[in-house]
Amino acid sequence: MPDEIDFSQGIQGKFYQPRMKLMMPIYLDDELQTRLMRFAETKGTDISDLVNNILKKDLELIEILEP
């Protein structure tokens, strides 16, 4: 790497997209990921769809149980 980089011709925000939706990476521990992958395979679904459905149902239950 050079000691100094010339950014004088750079354009600020060149790749910025204000409405761009970022996908949040979620990291599962190994045992949980293995169990979910097996379960998704038996259901014939994608692990992302499976986890999204589980989380949606959990949030519904939490909202029902909140005082």
Specify the pTM: 0.64
Q: How far is CA 59 from CA 1, 18, 31, 35, 43, in A?
A: 48, 28, 23, 21, 22
More confidently predicted of 59 and 17: 59
What's residue 1's pLDDT? 79
What's residue 29's pLDDT? 97
pLDDT in tens, 4-58: 999 999 999 999 888 888 888 999 999 999 999 999 999 999 999 999 999 999 9
- For the record, the structure tokens of 29 come out as 């521990």
What's residue 9's pLDDT? 92
